[in-house]
Amino acid sequence: MHRNKRSSKDAKKKQAREGLRGIRIAPYRSTGSLFLLAALLASGCSSDDDNRFTKAGLLTELQKNPGVPLALPRTLPSGYKIISAEAIVRDLQRGNRVTVRQVYFSSYTAEGGASLVDVCIEELAKPDLCGPPSSEGSFTRQLRDAHIVVNLNAVAPHAVNIWNNATFTATLSEVTWLK
């Protein structure tokens, strides 16, 4: 039985890898996105036991790397999970303050394949590092002092509507899907 469980898990990882290969990434952000996708493919897209993606883990990240807030959707479309949350740009002249954060969410379904949602958060005063939305259905938002760019890559039509109507918050206690 242990062998069957393992082969089923390996099959799911293979499906996720194949689905992620079809995701198109905007050229101006391709290097970082390709490194992330390579890491996801190597890991089998697993972050289930990663404590970094809990309220406590993200609060620790924000305390260690202060700066632009972490903006997350209050609710998450069914099947999506957070797979990465990074402080990617720092202002060394302002005490190594984080000026851009990037959060990735993924989903995989047998019918729709893999999808990747890239949420880039930057200071409102410098809204040029995330770039414009990269695909149809992608959008921007403003939250207090932050500019948010949400890029939807290979997202199913019903999920596009959910993401477009999502309410983003910088208050982690308002995020219903975080443990």
Selected residue with higher pLDDT from 76 and 93: 76
* Residue 165 placed within a domain: yes
Percentage of the chain exceeding pLDDT 70: 70
- Average pLDDT of the residues in 157-164: 88
| Predicted confidence band of residue 30 (pLDDT cuts 50, 70, 90) | very low
* Residue 124 placed within a domain: yes
Is the predicted pLDDT of residue 117 greater than 90, yes or no?
yes
Selected residue with higher pLDDT from 92 and 15: 92
Note the pTM of the prediction, 2 decimals. 0.72
- Please report the DSSP string for 24-92 in residue order: ---GGGHHHHHHHHHHHHHHTS--TT-GGGSHHHHHHHHHHS-BS---EESS--TT-EEEEEEEEEEEG
Q: Of 59-63, 117-121, 136-140, 152-156, which one has max mean pLDDT?
A: 117-121
Q: Which of 138, 42, 136, 143 is nearest to 101 (CA)?
A: 143
Q: Which pLDDT score is estimated for 13? A: 46
- Average pLDDT of the residues in 87-116: 84
Cα–Cα distance measured from residue 177 to residue 179, given in angstroms and rounded to the nearest whole number = 6
Q: Which of 118, 157, 164 is nearest to 141 (CA)?
A: 164
Domain range for 152 is 2-174
Out of 30-34, 84-88, 170-174, least confident range: 30-34
Cα–Cα distance measured from residue 122 to residue 99, given in angstroms and rounded to the nearest whole number = 6
Q: How many domains does the chain have?
A: 1
What is the overall mean pLDDT for the chain?
Answer: 77
Q: Can you state the percent helix, strand and coil of the chain, rounding each to 5?
A: 35, 30, 35
Is the predicted pLDDT of residue 21 greater than 80, yes or no?
no
Question: Two tokens at 125?
Answer: 């005063």
* Residue 34 placed within a domain: yes
C-alpha distances out from residue 2 to 9, 52, 90, 177, Å = 11, 29, 46, 31
Question: Two tokens at 10?
Answer: 């390996």
* Residue 179 placed within a domain: no
Q: CB count, 10 Å around CB of 157?
A: 8
Q: Is 174 helix (H, G, I), strand (E, B) or coil?
A: helix
- 119-144 confidence digits (pLDDT tens): 999 998 877 889 999 888 899 999 98
